[in-house]
Amino acid sequence: MSDATTDARWRRRKADRPGEIRTAALDLFAERGFAATRMEDIAERAGVTKGTVYLYFPTKEELFKAIVRAELLPNLELLEAAAAEKVPADKLLEKLLTAWGTGLIPARLALVPKVMMAEAGNFPELARFYLQEVIDRGRRVLRAVLRRGVEEGSFRSMDVESVSYCILAPFVFSVIWRHTFERHDMNPLDIPALARAHLDILLQGLMVSPRSIGGKHAGRRSKTKK
């Protein structure tokens, strides 16, 4: 409207408009859901006007799909990197969970899954696509690590399919938690502690010869045993 506005909108001319819009939209979709998020809200958070969003994305649905597609790559790269590591399986598991616990894995990474969980019913194709391109691929990596651990003799024999879910579950859980209840919770989730506890249980529960890991509560077995 005013000159100031006009100036402002040109000030960031070089900025990545589509990226900014996707980011704004993803945040809002995660917070309110796809249907409850208005295009105008997305535009506002991205610092543009409604019309501009349509300049880059023909429909709200396409915007959503673009987000999922755009977030796909970082996910896959992370998976690729994880699979490439050539260390013993138990060390790899420890590394992954530690990366999660110490915040090396960015929390934003989980926003698409969070939205996906709520909207899979309304976007079946997208859900199928996501399931195959990200989730199944991730599970395959995880199953391979577990199988390698068994072959290496460090892990007990196990139902790798089910165990892979057990390993993923607390991660998925924590993601949802942070985006749903944390804001209202008195005692917010202590992710590092959760990661430590999870790792401890897993190593104790999966390894043939459990070994102690560092931490407040972990690895006291010998002591306790008397």
86 binds, among DNA, a second copy, none (CB under 5 to 8 A by kind): none
Give the chain's count of helices (H) and strands (E): 12, 0
Burial of 40 (0-12, 13-18, 19+ CB in 10 A): exposed
Among 40, 61, 152, 161, contact with a second copy (rule: CB under 8 A)? 161
Residue with Cβ nearer a second copy (70 or 131): 131
In angstroms, rounded to a whole number, what is the distance separating the alpha carbons of residues 83 and 188? 32
In angstroms, rounded to a whole number, what is the distance separating the alpha carbons of residues 35 and 42? 12
Interface region with a second copy, contact rule CB under 8 A, candidates 15-23, 65-73, 87-95, 209-217: 209-217
Residue with Cβ nearer DNA (51 or 214): 51
Q: How many other CB atoms sit within 10 Å of the CB of residue 145?
A: 22
CB of 127 to DNA, least distance (A): 19
Residue entry with tokens 């996910």? 75
Residue with Cβ nearer DNA (28 or 167): 28
Rule CB under 7 A: say whether 66 interacts with DNA: no
Residue entry with tokens 């390698």? 148
Rule CB under 8 A: say whether 122 interacts with a second copy: yes
Convert 164-187 to b/e letters by CB count within 10 Å (16 or more is b): beebeebbeebbebbbeeeeeeee
Residue with Cβ nearer DNA (15 or 109): 15
Among 4, 10, 125, 187, contact with DNA (rule: CB under 7 A)? 10
Length of the chain: 226
Q: Which residues bind a second copy (CB under 8 A)?
A: 31-36, 116-122, 124, 127-128, 131, 135, 156-159, 161-163, 165-166, 168-170, 172-174, 176-177, 179-181, 183-185, 187, 189-190, 193-194, 196-198, 200-206, 208-209, 216-217, 220-221, 224-225
